[in-house]
Amino acid sequence: MKKEFWVILVLAIAAANLGMRSSDQYDQDAREQEKIQKQIDKETQVPEERHPAKNFATGVKEMTVDNVKDTLEDTAHGTMSEKPVVGTLDGTQQAGAKVVDNTIKGVKKVASLGYAKDDSYEIEQPQKGSGDAAKIKLFKF
């Protein structure tokens, strides 16, 4: 009696799973429902509260910790992918752009206490031979 029950139960479950998979309609409907639910969750999500001290700390972290991490990663990757001296120099050059970007974005977060809406900035290069330094525009007014 018990064996017959288990055999019938296993066959019923297998048939139900096979029926759902073969129709494929169930899968499509479920995916659509998930997409709709994610969209609703995204739209109804409560915006994070702003904490100036936390935002200030995030900017400082971006200027310090992230710069070191990016420099080490790019330098190590360059050293592994090419000859040691050439790879190290190439990796350091690639990391330089990230360091400048992280520093500028971190300074912007620190200066605005994280209230700035975008991370964009402009670098204005001086005229050749003028002796002036490059100017970085963090905010657009």
- pLDDT tens-digit map of 38-89: 888 777 765 555 677 787 888 888 888 887 888 888 888 777 778 878 888 8
Which pLDDT value is given to residue 45?
64
Provide the pLDDT confidence category of residue 101 given band limits of 50, 70 and 90.
Answer: confident
Mean predicted confidence (pLDDT) in 86-94: 81
Q: What is the mean pLDDT of the chain?
A: 78
Q: Point out the least confidently predicted range of 13-22, 33-42, 90-99.
A: 13-22
- Is it the case that residue 131 has pLDDT exceeding 70? yes
Beta-carbon count within 10 A of 105 CB: 19
